[in-house]
């Protein structure tokens, strides 16, 4: 079975993919990479490629999807199949870059927890999730962010600021590709996913109901079903 490499989103770690690791580790090698190792996408991708098998299936969510596109740019021959979840192929807008500078300053002054709760978490989840599920997911997000810490936030923010547009890279890829998003994703909306779907000739677009930006935590079984179909394509 082809090994599966999972790439988490900003201020997330392997706990973003607990349900996916449990679902697929029985029949293949499943790895979750660290996307906080550098302050630029090329070096993050190089670090992951240095530790990855020669050929693998690659799935990334949000920032993880952006890293996956950089891996694809550097080593397309090693990516057997690609899954892009709740992500964006474009370079960062100037106004978003500027806002990251403000956020970095807050974090440098000890405000990581405050920032995550006031500016990040409110945009993560679908509006109609049960309150108990929202509480559990956000507690997990808080644990991941505090474990990674302020320096990881700063490195990841800089990497996102400096990322390049990857539309040309996607247009050249021919492997089986899953484009997946939560229907209520506020951070990476439908038009971004439709764009990726149009660029990737061997792709399928899947929308997950009752989910926002963190589909793997909000609707893990629906995501696993889509990933299972993609892995067998």
Domain 4-93+156-231 listed as CATH 1.20.140.10? no
- Cβ atoms of 65 and 33 within 8 Å: the answer is no
- pTM of the predicted structure, to 2 decimals: 0.96
- Render pLDDT for 3-20 as a digit per residue (tens, 0 to 9): 999 999 999 999 999 999
Q: What is the three-class DSSP state of 201?
A: coil
- Render pLDDT for 130-172 as a digit per residue (tens, 0 to 9): 999 999 999 999 999 999 999 999 999 999 999 999 999 999 9
d(CA 139, CA 212): 16
Q: Where are the domains of the chain?
A: 4-93+156-231
Mean pLDDT, residues 180-189: 97
Looking at residue 233, its pLDDT comes to 87
Average pLDDT over all residues of the chain: 97
- Cβ atoms of 145 and 137 within 8 Å: the answer is no
Q: CA neighbours within 13 Å on the CB side: how many for 17? A: 26
- Render pLDDT for 98-110 as a digit per residue (tens, 0 to 9): 999 999 999 999 9
């Amino acid at each position: 079975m082809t090994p599966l490499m999972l790439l988490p989103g900003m201020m997330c770690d392997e706990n973003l993919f607990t349900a996916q690791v449990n679902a697929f580790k029985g029949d293949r090698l499943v790895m979750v990479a660290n996307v906080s190792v550098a302050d630029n996408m090329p070096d993050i991708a190089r670090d992951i490629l240095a530790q990855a098998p020669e050929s693998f299936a690659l799935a990334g969510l949000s920032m993880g999807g952006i890293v996956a596109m950089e891996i694809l740019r550097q080593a397309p021959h090693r990516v057997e199949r690609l899954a892009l979840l709740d992500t964006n192929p474009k370079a960062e807008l100037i106004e978003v870059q500027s806002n990251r500078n403000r956020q970095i300053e807050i974090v440098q002054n000890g405000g990581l927890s405050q920032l995550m709760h006031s500016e990040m978490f409110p945009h993560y989840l679908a509006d109609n999730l049960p309150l108990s599920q929202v509480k559990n997911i956000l507690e997990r997000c808080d644990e991941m962010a505090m474990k990674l810490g302020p320096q990881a936030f700063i490195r990841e923010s800089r990497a996102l600021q400096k990322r390049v547009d990857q539309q040309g890279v996607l247009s050249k890829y021919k492997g089986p590709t899953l484009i997946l998003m939560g229907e209520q994703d506020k951070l990476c909306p439908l038009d971004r996913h439709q764009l990726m779907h149009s660029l990737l000739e061997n792709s399928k677009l899947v929308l997950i109901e009752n989910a926002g930006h963190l589909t793997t935590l909000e609707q893990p079984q629906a995501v696993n079903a889509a990933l299972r179909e993609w892995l067998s394509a």
